[in-house]
Amino acid sequence: MDKQFVARRRRDLITAAGLAAVAAIVPLFVKDVYVQNIMVLTLMYAALSQSWNILSGYCGQISLGHALYFGLGAYTTALLFTKFGVLPWFGMIAGGLISAAIAMALGYPCFRLGGHYFAIATIVIAEIGLLLIQNWDWAGAALGIDIPVRGDSWLKFQFTRSKLPYFYFALVLACVAWFVTWWLEDSKWGYWWRAVKDNPQAAESLGVVVFNSKMGAAAVSAFLVAVGGSFYAQFVSYIDPGSVMGFQFSLLMALPAVLGGIGTLWGPMLGAVILIPITELTRSYIGGSGRGVDLIVYGALIVLIALARPEGLVGLFSRRRKEATR
């Protein structure tokens, strides 16, 4: 097992580096702003889903409330910048740390809950966060925050003329989330998480501190998602509670991982690359009139993939690879 496993991990790393390099060149040839926009969103959701996958896929704690951390990241960055002039880069770190701390504080009571009780608790907590921000006047309440334009610069992480800087940041973010997963997969944490997911009682009896490993997964996951939220605030330069903390974000983070393959290294990436362009294209080409056809296509696709490929689309590749090595 060992040699094969090490070889597989090395191959994963090389594949990822190759894909990242190819992705980095693409926008030099694809100048269309609309397409670039889709690419930025695809990379962002790949990163978010990869981060969600750490807690929900590897550690098995299905969270349907990660929009909370996304919103916290976006709001921390936007508030620090507009109220105190703090650069978004510091806001990004602050948002990540706040989210990780809150994830652990919430995990303390929530990780005792099993299955559906846990999932509903995550939805409910994110909804409370949403309602509180909607009623918080200092933070713009339901109207949200308009991030003022102070000219294009990396220092202020604002770019009005070109989408390329956002693209490269999203690419780096997706790579970081992937690499963190890759690295954790073979660390003691990775083994703990899978043990906790498969059989918490057995894991506990073998000396895995189940509670602490859930807390670790929650903190890493929340930190990365908050960085994504912080990026999103800069990218769209206007945020309001529903558009960064709504329930739909929690689902949009989970969907790519589920469709691609939950608890797998490549699943979230693959899911995002397929799902996000389809979402955006159906929305703009057949959903423009607001007649719901985009929703029908999108929903039907989710049902079909869930029924036809319960283990995720990543299964298509691994089977072929297995046959090739045989």
Partner 1 sequence: MTAETIIQSLASGLLMGLLYGLIAVGLALIFGLMDVVNFAHGEFLMLAMYVTFFLFTFFAIDPLLSAPLAAAALFVLGAAVYLLIVRFAMRAKANVGMVQIFATFGLAIVMRGLAQLFFTADYRSVPNSWLGGKTVSVAGIYLPQPQLFGALVAIAAFGGLYLFINRTDFGRALEATREDPGAVALVGIDKNRVFALGWGLGGALVGLAGAIMATFFYIYPDVGASFALIAYVTVALGGFGSVFGAFAGGIVVGLVEATTALILPPSLKSVGIYAVYLLVVFIRPRGLFGSM
Q: Choose, by CB under 8 A, the member of 47, 121, 133, 195 that binds partner 1.
A: 121
Binding footprint of partner 1, residue count (CB under 8 A): 45
**Is position 316 an interface residue for partner 1 (rule: CB under 8 A)?**
no
Beta-ladder partners of 145: 239
CB closer to partner 1 out of 124 and 155: 124
Over the range 229-258, which residues count as b (16 or more CB within 10 Å of their CB) and which as e?
Answer: bbbbbbbeeebbbbbbbbeebbebbbbbbb
Q: Choose, by CB under 8 A, the member of 19, 125, 210, 278 that binds partner 1.
A: 125
Write a three-state SS string for the chain: CHHHHHHHHHHHHHHHHHHHHHHHHHHHHCCCHHHHHHHHHHHHHHHHHHHHHHHHHHCCCCCCCCHHHHHHHHHHHHHHHHHHCCCHHHHHHHHHHHHHHHHHHHHHHHCCCCHHHHHHHHHHHHHHHHHHHHCCHHHCHHHCEECCCCCCECCCCECCCCCHHHHHHHHHHHHHHHHHHHHHHCCHHHHHHHHHHHCHHHHHHCCCCHHHHHHHHHHHHHHHHHHHHHHHHHHHCEECHHHHHCHHHHHHHHHHHHHHCCCCCCHHHHHHHHHHHHHHHHHHHCCCCCCCHHHHHHHHHHHHHHHHCCCCCHHHHHHHHHHHHC
CB of 80 to partner 1, least distance (A): 26
CB closer to partner 1 out of 112 and 150: 112
**Is position 292 an interface residue for partner 1 (rule: CB under 8 A)?**
yes
Q: Choose, by CB under 8 A, the member of 11, 83, 112, 150 that binds partner 1.
A: 112
Interface stretch with partner 1, choices 128-136, 158-166, 186-194, 218-226 (CB under 8 A): 128-136
By CB under 8 A, what part of segment 34-63 binds partner 1? 62
Interface stretch with partner 1, choices 24-32, 90-98, 235-243, 309-317 (CB under 8 A): 309-317
CB of 129 to partner 1, least distance (A): 10
CB closer to partner 1 out of 7 and 120: 120
CB closer to partner 1 out of 132 and 316: 132
**Is position 300 an interface residue for partner 1 (rule: CB under 8 A)?**
yes
CB of 61 to partner 1, least distance (A): 12
CB closer to partner 1 out of 24 and 62: 62
**Is position 299 an interface residue for partner 1 (rule: CB under 8 A)?**
yes
CA–CA gap between residue 98 and residue 80 (Å, rounded) = 13
CB closer to partner 1 out of 26 and 143: 143
**Is position 18 an interface residue for partner 1 (rule: CB under 8 A)?**
no
CA–CA gap between residue 39 and residue 130 (Å, rounded) = 28
User: How many C-beta atoms surround the C-beta of residue 32 within 10 A?
Assistant: 10
Sign, CA torsion 35/39/45/49: positive
Interface stretch with partner 1, choices 14-22, 25-33, 170-178, 258-266 (CB under 8 A): 258-266
CA–CA gap between residue 78 and residue 295 (Å, rounded) = 31
**Is position 115 an interface residue for partner 1 (rule: CB under 8 A)?**
yes
Mask of contacts with partner 1, 193-232, x by CB under 8 A? ----------------------------------------
**Is position 240 an interface residue for partner 1 (rule: CB under 8 A)?**
no
Q: Choose, by CB under 8 A, the member of 124, 143, 155, 236 that binds partner 1.
A: 124
Residues that bind partner 1 (CB under 8 A): 62, 109, 112-117, 120-121, 123-125, 127-128, 131-132, 134-135, 247, 251, 255, 258-259, 262, 290-304, 306-307, 310-312
